[in-house]
Copies of this chain bind each other. A is one copy, B any other.
Amino acid sequence: MASGNEFDIREYLQFRKRMIDAALGGYLPPEDAYPPAIFQAVRYSIFSGGKRIRPILCIAAAEAVGGKLDTVLPVACALELIHTYSLIHDDLPAMDNDDFRRGHPTSHKVFGEAIAILAGDALLTEAFHIIASESVRQAVNHETLLQVIHDISEAAGLYGMVAGQAADILSEGREPEITALEFIHHRKTGAMIGVSVKSGALLSDAGEGEIFALTEYGRNIGLAFQIADDILNVAGDSQAMGKETGSDQRSRKLTYPALMGLEASRQKAQSLIKEAVSSISMLDHRADPLRMIANYVTAREY
């Protein structure tokens, strides 16, 4: 990817991030609501430096098929709430036991475990509260909204992210195996990234072919993104990750680099990116942000 383009995509991502941050701020209640600790904890984790890749993908998918920003922004924010809930719970002592995330102490280090668990629960619940809110109901076709709620809850739940995290935890210390690893990555990260893209398409009344293409794009980029994260965890410096690198290795987690080595992992990520980009070849220039995001994912600091 040319460096001129790379400059553009960084600006695009920054611009979108600021827009999403502003919208998130509007959806979350003020910190002084009662009892303050839980509202503070919710805001703390939401505003701890996330890249907003899921809402950005949702918006970019809508852009790609001529959708409207107003229609897609609330759902984009809801996706970030669900992502943030999953990080809070994943970081808990009983789970991955991480003290830092993105350079900040994790929620349970700041607010205690009980409030951290509840902050995660609240974010997951509020996601559906936002999607089903009156203002969204007035702006979006109801059948589409229900389909989006269905797809997001499927991607987040027992057939998606929760199953992936459970399999991940249960696999610690086991012999690495490619089928187990793909199961984990597809569900733990791929499902939510896939549904972020698909939701943007659904909310923009995309045609069946477009929805299929964008879902394929999302599936591929989701797995590529997780492999890139695995690689960063092994090869990146701890500053770029905001947490100690090598932590996955210490807890003997299943990762691509552990299973197939760094070089083969990089190639796998690259080929998934190619597949992602080729699956949306039917879409016009409005899908360029999606193409650039795909390339950017594996062009990060490693």
Contacts and interface: CB of A to CB of B under 8 A. Distances in A.
Q: Quickly give the copy total for this chain.
A: 2
A201 interface: no
Given A92-B117, A143-B142, A156 B34 contact: no
B94 A158 contact: no
B125 A158 contact: yes
Interface stretch (A9-17, A164-172, A248-256): A164-172
A166 B122 CA distance: 10
A149 B145 CA distance: 11
A133 B151 CA distance: 9
Contacts of A29: 158-159
Contacts of A162: 38, 118, 121-122, 125
Contacts of A212: none
B34 A183 contact: yes
A187 to B, nearest CB: 10
A150 B125 contact: no
Contacts of A137: 143, 146-147, 150
Interface stretch (A46-54, A108-116, A260-268, A284-292): A108-116
A167 B94 contact: no
